[in-house]
Amino acid sequence: MISRNVSLKKYNTFKIGGNAKLFAEPKTIRDIKDLFLFCRQNNEKFFILGAGSNVLFGDEGFDGLVIKIGKHFETGKSLHTLIQTAADKGLGGIEKLEGIPGTIGGAIFMNASAHGQQISDCIESVVSVTIYGEIITRTKEECKCAYRNSVFRMLDESILSAEFNFVPMAKDVINKNRKEVLAWRREKQPLKYPNAGSVFKNPTNNIPLADSRVSAGYLIDSCGLKGCRVGDAQVSELHANFIVNRGSATAKDVKALIKKVTQTVKDAHGVDLETEIIVATG
């Protein structure tokens, strides 16, 4: 079940990263429990991976076990699949998240949001397995979802499944919302090059500007950073809160560019940008 020295480039949307020392794609809950036991017994670090759409792996790879949660689990399926299944039944509430290229589990983990909707709006409960093999069910309140955050970001657990309480809506309204969001993404987001989505969270407080909530993209753009490059990593010329891989960008390039962007915005606006993407170290 465990493979060695697996390239991580094909397992993330940035197409960046070295090899995982160990790599596994479990098919059952028992498999996940066994992998966690293996990590405990061998003092191995581990990283839970979904679609890899919000992660940056280091050039040196990951010195531990990468556990990829795939379609054998409900939460390993794409967020699109959940939205489509709900839409077919006349259920909405998260249809404006269409086009986010992650898994259901990844969306819960980071409380994915877009266009005034967030996945936690419709969460009823979430089931996960701990590193000690315990199965835990949490209510929506216990998931402690906030902007781009949930309790799972602070826990060594793997999300297994979830129950949702969707909003009954006319199918034509749901599909209209989906089409509009997808059209917006095609126009506004750099889909041509590999990327990991929005790099920075939108600031929500301590902003010394007139607006109480100024987007990270606006702040970066206002500093004239669109098109700024370090190696083959570039601030997108289409959307300033995206860093794209123009071909052979390294994690070192991306990190250097992130540092440059954060310092420039800090100097210009006094705002500390916080990264949204997960930098998998090790």
Catalytic member of 25, 95, 157, 276: 276
First and final C-alpha spacing in the chain: 22
Nearest to 78 by CA among 60, 102, 52, 45: 102
Catalytic member of 53, 113, 150, 198: 198
Q: Is 236 a catalytic residue?
A: no
Q: Is 178 a catalytic residue?
A: no
Q: Three-state SS for 141?
A: helix
Alpha-carbon separation of residue 80 from 84, 182, 195, 271 (angstroms): 6, 11, 18, 34
Residues with Cβ < 8 Å from 93, sequence gap 6 or more?
Answer: 86, 117, 121, 122, 166, 167, 169
Q: Is 148 a catalytic residue?
A: yes
Q: Three-state SS for 125?
A: strand
Catalytic member of 120, 148, 150, 236: 148
What is the residue-wise DSSP string for 192-204?
Answer: TS-EEEE-BPPP-
- Give yes or no for a contact between 270 and 248, defined as CB atoms under 8 angstroms apart: no
Cα 151 from chain centroid (whole Å): 15
Which amino acids are annotated catalytic?
148, 198, 276
